[in-house]
A and B are shown apart, each in its own frame.
Chain A
Amino acid sequence: MSKYQHLPRFRVGLALMATVGVTVLAGCGSSSSSHSSSSTTPAASTSSAASSTSAASSSSGTTPAASASATSSCGPKPGVKATGSPINIGTIDTHQPGTDFTDGPNMINAYFACVNANGGINGHPLKLFVELDQTNPAQITADAKQLIQSDHVVAIDGVFDLLECTLDATYWKQLGIYEMDAGISPECWSTPNSAAVNMGPRYSSDGAVQYAINTVKAKKIVFVQSNVPGTGYIAAGPAAIAKASAVPITELTENVPITDANSVALKLVDEAGSDGSVILNFTPPEALVILQAAQKLGLEDRVKSWGCSTPCDTDFLAKALGPKWNKKLFVNAEAVDADDHSGPEIELYKAILAKYGQSVAGGIGSFSQFGFLLAKFLVQALDTVKPPYTIASVNKAIVGIKAYKSEMLCQPWTYGHLALHIPNNADYTVTPDNGKMVTAQGCTAISPADPQIAQYRKVATAAGVNYPPSQ
């Protein structure tokens, strides 16, 4: 027998091994944890190729000279550098291929850099310790311990993570730490030691479904999201909202990354029908491929409207989609559209972004706005602390945050000793308008048809901290 008769089987075996190798690689991604801290400058930039970043950042029209004076209001002593011992703050953030939330901590670092250049906190600079994770539970719990035991942080602020709230809730409770975050997992809103500035996927999807039913008058809702753990929890909100309005809803999931967007778009449109609305709950890249596929196949007008939860609220998406989607796509926005509004706080945000936010890849957008708010609220809380700055003193100030106002949110933000926290429970709706997102609807309270919202309002009202949205 010739030795070459073995070749087919060998080739097949080789290819099979390689396939397994590729699959394992896909699962592993980059598994290492990275650790960085900064007290005076933003984290190193990773966005050299994202040219639109600079465009977005400079869209405020702030000149360097103007920004210098505009940013001086972020600290108590304009132009005086803080030189005391640093106050250590910790955060844990997801950073993996396809899911990169580092704009959040990068914006916090930008805000801290501004504060440190303008007097700091009683002369103490703020130092942010950033732990990046790749959705590895063991890594995330180890990161939490490292922040406390090695980095000696006194507060956890600015967590933008897929799993952190779930994994560390008990640890923070043991230590008496009150975390401030812009999270994803349910425990960010349903536990006593976590409060988020964002609404998260469930309540943001609630808002998008609510807009489709109440404003667009959709007769059917098709709600589709990534096929990942926790989809049942998220879908329960839109289902409750639709049920309360007696509108039928179909809940679908799609594997991500989406490899056949054309088929997905076809399926969604077929399911919704001409009187229905399709509501997407995906990251911007995944939402974009579905919407573009719909456009290429001429499907954008085959349903009454398209909707999306907050992640779609980026100018990246509006630019990529083009004018065909003007007033056809309605995106829930958990914070005000900074491109579309102005005021002292929003000008400060843009000025800090321009002067200190070189590492904020997405520029103006939800991630950096939430980073700004988390940094601002923490600094406001720290200003009330009488030194020394310990876990006890700092977290007492954090949980005591009551009715901090912001131009970016629909209602004052409060922490408080509550069983659960959904302090941001009113939203905006935005729509693409020739490459930019503009406001389609002002502040609107999320319906209490979602039982979680109803429960929060009940406990918040009992504690005297429930605020109706302001227009």
Chain B
Amino acid sequence: MLLVGSLFPSWQDFQPFLITGLALGAVYALSGVGMVVLYRATGVLYLAFGAVGAFGALVAWQLTQSHWNIWLAYLVAVVLSAVITLAYGMVFGSALAAREPVVKATATLGLTLILLGAMDLLWTSSGGASRAILLPTDNHGFVLGQINVTTTQVICLAAGVVTTVGTGAFLRFTKLGTTMRAMANDREITATLGVPIRRVEAAAWLGCGVLAGLAGVVLADLVALDATTLTFLVISSLAAALIAQLRSIVITFIAALVIGVIDAAIEASPNQGFSNYHDMAPFVLAAIALLVANRKRVISISRTGI
């Protein structure tokens, strides 16, 4: 108990961090849900999710510098992210459909590198250049305790919940969603039943791209408008998806929130040495979840004798 007390902040000190952690976790959830849905429909672990969102956010920033209406600029960001993702899915997703999942995932790293290179070229950080996206909702909110809770943070949390519930309902109650679930179980059998799998996959890629664009704009506001930072934030979302074993969007959502909150709790640690390890939180949680899941499976197999 003493050790925990020295590593983690008191409840009173932690309260403001809880809000920031939940808001960030909700955006991780947005990304994680997108990745899980795409994986279930196409078998592709989309590692370019962060880079696509970052590209869209930087384009939005560029448009706002040219005095575009900010909402129109953000809409362009989302549409652009969706188009890039859909184009990748249609060209490379189809071509690699028969390959092993690891090949499909690795191919998305190629898209990541191309986008990173393009962003480094177009939006250089030379000369102290720094950019920022501010949502109008940053200026509104309410005071809770001693800190401002911005409308952006509330919207992030709401967006995470709505995305999770909406996606769950979509997969369960719509024809397209049911088809996606069928494809997740067996793509070939689904195809032999006459399902237009290319069209279903296209819908999955498009939806994932939209979520990447949304997450990119929101994370650019919450975290930083920086290509490298946004590209690799996907790791936290990936950890949440991993904890859910790339299956359950509800578990992905909960895991993402937990990652966000634990990350904030470690950041708030009174122990400076421990605080510097907060970036490890997603990996540690994912590793623990995988070990527990694997142990259950081993026990289950040994009991059934299979």
Residues of chain A within 8 A of B242, CB atoms compared: 12, 15-16, 19
CB-based contact B45/A14 at 8 Å: yes
Partner of A255, one of B109, B132, B276: B276
CB-based contact B228/A98 at 8 Å: yes
Residues of chain A within 8 A of B272, CB atoms compared: 252-253
B2 part of interface (Cβ distance < 8 Å) = no
Report Cα–Cα, A51/B101, bound state, in Å. 41
CB-based contact B276/A18 at 8 Å: no
Given contacts A1-B306, A21-B106, A257-B229, contact A285 B130 (CB under 8 A): yes
> How many A-B pairs fall under 8 Å by CB?
232
Report Cα–Cα, A365/B126, bound state, in Å. 11
Report Cα–Cα, A95/B150, bound state, in Å. 36
CB-based contact B124/A14 at 8 Å: no
CB-based contact A48/B66 at 8 Å: no
Report Cα–Cα, A316/B23, bound state, in Å. 27
CB closest chain-B residue, reference A313: B128
| Closest Cβ–Cβ distance, residue B18 to chain A (whole Å) | 10
Report Cα–Cα, A45/B275, bound state, in Å. 40
Residues of chain B within 8 A of A101, CB atoms compared: 126
Partner of B101, one of A10, A16, A98: A10
Residues of chain B within 8 A of A15, CB atoms compared: 45, 238, 241-242, 246
CB-based contact A320/B130 at 8 Å: yes
Residues of chain A within 8 A of B263, CB atoms compared: 259-260, 263
B30 part of interface (Cβ distance < 8 Å) = no
Main secondary structure on A side of the interface with B: helix
Residues of chain A within 8 A of B279, CB atoms compared: 255, 259
Q: Say which one of B161-169, B171-179, B195-203, B219-227 lies at the interface with A.
A: B219-227
Report Cα–Cα, A262/B186, bound state, in Å. 44
Report Cα–Cα, A15/B267, bound state, in Å. 26
B210 part of interface (Cβ distance < 8 Å) = no
Residues of chain A within 8 A of B188, CB atoms compared: none
Residues of chain A within 8 A of B23, CB atoms compared: 262
Interface size on B, as a range, is 35 or more
Partner of B267, one of A10, A18, A263, A320: A263
Q: Say which one of B68-76, B77-85, B87-95, B112-120 lies at the interface with A.
A: B112-120
Given contacts A46-B126, A52-B65, A316-B129, contact A9 B101 (CB under 8 A): no
CB-based contact A22/B109 at 8 Å: yes
CB-based contact A361/B129 at 8 Å: yes
CB-based contact A98/B125 at 8 Å: yes
A343 part of interface (Cβ distance < 8 Å) = no
Residues of chain B within 8 A of A10, CB atoms compared: 101
Residues of chain A within 8 A of B158, CB atoms compared: none
| Closest Cβ–Cβ distance, residue B156 to chain A (whole Å) | 11
Q: Which of A16, A260, A297, A311 has the most CB of B within 10 A?
A: A260
Main secondary structure on B side of the interface with A: helix
Give chain B interface residues in 268-306, CB to chain A under 8 Å. 268, 272, 275-276, 278-279, 283, 286, 290, 293-294, 297, 306
CB closest chain-A residue, reference B223: A259
Residues of chain A within 8 A of B147, CB atoms compared: 266, 297-299
Partner of B245, one of A8, A48, A53, A267: A8
| Closest Cβ–Cβ distance, residue B180 to chain A (whole Å) | 16
CB closest chain-B residue, reference A291: B132
CB-based contact A289/B247 at 8 Å: no
Given contacts A21-B109, A22-B235, A260-B278, contact A14 B101 (CB under 8 A): yes
Residues of chain B within 8 A of A296, CB atoms compared: 138, 148, 150, 152
Residues of chain A within 8 A of B278, CB atoms compared: 255, 260
Q: Say which one of A23-31, A382-390, A395-403, A425-433 lies at the interface with B.
A: A23-31
CB-based contact B128/A365 at 8 Å: yes
Given contacts A264-B267, A266-B20, contact A102 B126 (CB under 8 A): yes
Give chain A interface residues in 273-322, CB to chain B under 8 Å. 283-289, 292, 296-299, 311, 313-314, 316-317, 320
CB-based contact A227/B102 at 8 Å: no
A109 part of interface (Cβ distance < 8 Å) = no
CB-based contact A362/B128 at 8 Å: yes
CB closest chain-A residue, reference B125: A100
Report Cα–Cα, A12/B246, bound state, in Å. 8
Q: Mark A102-117, 1 if CB is under 8 A from B, else 0.
A: 1100100000000000
A99 part of interface (Cβ distance < 8 Å) = yes
B21 part of interface (Cβ distance < 8 Å) = yes
Q: Mark B204-247, 1 if CB is under 8 A from A, else 0.
A: 00000000000000000011101111001111101101100111
CB closest chain-A residue, reference B290: A12
Give chain A interface residues in 1-56, CB to chain B under 8 Å. 1, 4, 8-12, 14-19, 21-23, 25-26, 30, 46-53
Residues of chain A within 8 A of B267, CB atoms compared: 260, 263-264, 267
CB-based contact B128/A292 at 8 Å: no
CB closest chain-A residue, reference B185: A4
A368 part of interface (Cβ distance < 8 Å) = yes
A207 part of interface (Cβ distance < 8 Å) = no
User: Can you name 12 A-B residue pairings with CB atoms under 8 Å?
Assistant: A4-B185, A8-B247, A14-B45, A25-B112, A49-B58, A50-B129, A95-B126, A253-B272, A263-B21, A266-B16, A365-B128, A367-B128
The 6 A-B pairs of least Cβ separation, nearest first, read A362-B127, A103-B127, A262-B20, A298-B148, A257-B229, A100-B126
Using a CB–CB cutoff of 8 Å, the interface residues on chain B facing chain A are 13, 16-17, 20-21, 23-24, 39, 45, 47, 58, 62, 65-66, 101-102, 105-106, 109, 112-113, 116-117, 120-132, 134, 138, 143, 147-148, 150, 152, 185-186, 222-224, 226-229, 232-236, 238-239, 241-242, 245-247, 263-264, 267-268, 272, 275-276, 278-279, 283, 286, 290, 293-294, 297, 306
Given contacts A12-B245, A22-B234, 7 further A-B pairs with CB under 8 A are: A8-B247, A95-B126, A97-B125, A257-B229, A261-B222, A266-B17, A297-B148
Using a CB–CB cutoff of 8 Å, the interface residues on chain A facing chain B are 1, 4, 8-12, 14-19, 21-23, 25-26, 30, 46-53, 95, 97-103, 106, 227, 252-255, 257-264, 266-267, 270, 283-289, 292, 296-299, 311, 313-314, 316-317, 320, 360-363, 365-368
